[in-house]
Amino acid sequence: MLKRLAAVVGGLALALGGAVAVAPAVNATPQGCFYQVLEQHPDVDEDVVAHACLTAADGSSETIRACYHELRREYVPAQLALDACRSSSQE
């Protein structure tokens, strides 16, 4: 009985761990990018952020770079701009 309980608890822990590992990928969308920027830099132009995040949605290095530069022109901090642009794609 103890071995079964240990197996069930171990399986549950692995299943939950897998769900937690997959969870960040669920938010990898242009909308997630948009809200990430606005939460941390609320005075930025929303139209510019929306355009930048949509630009990076395909995940190519060129579009992520374009998104990054567009956000930096709006004085979004460098690390926030990079993280948001990367999170916009479905990588």
Q: What is the pLDDT of residue 82?
A: 94
pLDDT in tens, 49-65: 999 999 999 989 999 99
Judged against a pLDDT cut of 70, whether residue 26 lies above it is answered with no
Q: What is the pLDDT of residue 7?
A: 54
For residue 38, give the DSSP letter.
H
Q: What is the pLDDT of residue 23?
A: 44
What length is written for the chain?
91
Q: What is the pLDDT of residue 29?
A: 86
Q: What is the 3-state secondary structure (H, E, C) of 35-80?
A: HHHHHHCCCCCHHHHHHHHHHHHHCCHHHHHHHHHHHHHCCCCHHH
